[in-house]
Amino acid sequence: MRRVAVLSVHTSPLEQPGTGDAGGMNVYIVQTATRMARRGVEVEIFTRATSSELPPVAELAPGVKVRHVIAGPFEGLGKEELPGQLCAFTAGVLRAEARHEPGYYDVVHSHYWLSGQVGWLARERWAVPLVHTAHTLAKVKNLALAVHDTPEPRMRVIGEEQVVAEADRLVANTEVEARELVELYDAEPRKVLVVPPGVDLERFTPGDTAAARAALDLPPDAVVLAFVGRIQPLKAPDVLLRAAAEMVARDPGLRARLVVLVVGGPSGTGLKTPDELVRLAAELGISDVVRFLPPQGGAALARVYRAADVVAVPSHNESFGLVALEAQACGTPVVAAAVGGLPVAVRDGVSGALVDGHEAARWARALADVALRPAHREELATNAVGHARRFSWDRTTESLLAAYQEAGKVFREEVFA
């Protein structure tokens, strides 16, 4: 394996995860691409240019290039507007490859269905295999919509079905997602591979809680509940606020110590009402205990995890849940919704707790059980570190490279059959 073309149409790996359309997929692409490069595999990531000031090519890391393809207006476009720019984006990708000798790329790896549409055409033009990672699936999201959230459009469903049919290999995060691809999208089981995402075990490590709280100007004896992620109905940060209000109602004395950290920026349908959580906190009467922080990266993000007694991941759907792994790697237990890949990311009763549904009272009980029982929390924290260490980006990268090799072998056999 010499060279991989990675397609990420709607979000650049150079963007800060936690706002807009940047999230776990960005982390996934950056972490796996840089590790492939360390193994001597060149990686070129194609993404849509969102500013005239962006260079045509930027170096993400040694051996990893980001190519900014002009497709449509430079300003940010919503994902629902991007299908109309796929022809222009595809032309840019094919034009870049045409400057090289035939066979320049060994494989195309597309991320999200929009990229899969481009990858499908690149596969045919370049005669190389297409490996696709969906990250989220429209049919699954539509089965678990949050209240007032917007269903994924039929256009996306059809697009995903086309990519599933055309890809040589489909990478699923968990066995659950693999079954969804087969049962909901009629994917051929032999094409589906399960490759769990990882966690940066060098960056996300246990640390000094007191120091982390001091850096965030939090009282050393506070009871800290944290949410990290994009502010949108799918991620359900409102569930944490409602649960916190329930906890205060049950124990008014807790108000003096409780801090609810909400770390992230508006995204998706959350952009329509970017101040919704602020208003909700006021309606619930807990504005005094809720603190909002912008998206954090690197050491600052690890500091947030270390400062928290528990991290809440109340999403209505998650293909995996990288936040849960990162928090646990820092020694912080996680209370998560029992949906999607979260039962893999969190070991119920061992590294945290899983909650069925999104009822505030149920979440309040689960959060209190971890945050207000120090001995229990310490046991979960120790187990959380061990659980997170079962996942690493090195393992993920090795599995992806093996998937590329397998896809290439099968592709060649089919072409020359």
* 75 belongs to an annotated ligand binding site: no
* 332 belongs to an annotated ligand binding site: yes
* 306 belongs to an annotated ligand binding site: yes
* 99 belongs to an annotated ligand binding site: no
Beta strands in 165-317 (DSSP E): 169-172, 192-194, 223-228, 258-263, 290-293, 310-313
* 230 belongs to an annotated ligand binding site: yes
* 221 belongs to an annotated ligand binding site: no
* 16 belongs to an annotated ligand binding site: yes
Closest CA to 341 of 119, 28, 12, 117: 28
* 235 belongs to an annotated ligand binding site: yes
Output the CA torsion sign for 85, 86, 90, 93. Answer: positive
* 26 belongs to an annotated ligand binding site: yes
* 404 belongs to an annotated ligand binding site: no
d(Cα 223, Cα 259) in Å, to the nearest integer?
Answer: 6
* 197 belongs to an annotated ligand binding site: no
**CB–CB of 368/317 below 8 Å?**
no
What is the C-alpha end-to-end distance of the chain, expressed in Å?
Answer: 22
* 376 belongs to an annotated ligand binding site: no
**CB–CB of 321/313 below 8 Å?**
yes
* 17 belongs to an annotated ligand binding site: yes
3-state secondary structure of 278: helix
* 276 belongs to an annotated ligand binding site: no
3-state secondary structure of 271: helix
* 318 belongs to an annotated ligand binding site: yes
Reported as type and span, the H/E element at residue 31 is helix 24-38
* 409 belongs to an annotated ligand binding site: no
Annotated binding-site residues for UDP-N-acetyl-alpha-D-glucosamine read: 16-17, 24, 230, 235, 296, 318, 326
Annotated binding-site residues for 1D-myo-inositol 3-phosphate read: 10, 21-26, 79, 112, 136, 156
Annotated binding-site residues read: 10, 16-17, 21-26, 79, 112, 136, 156, 230, 235, 296, 305-306, 308, 318, 326, 332
Annotated binding-site residues for Mg(2+) read: 305-306, 308, 332
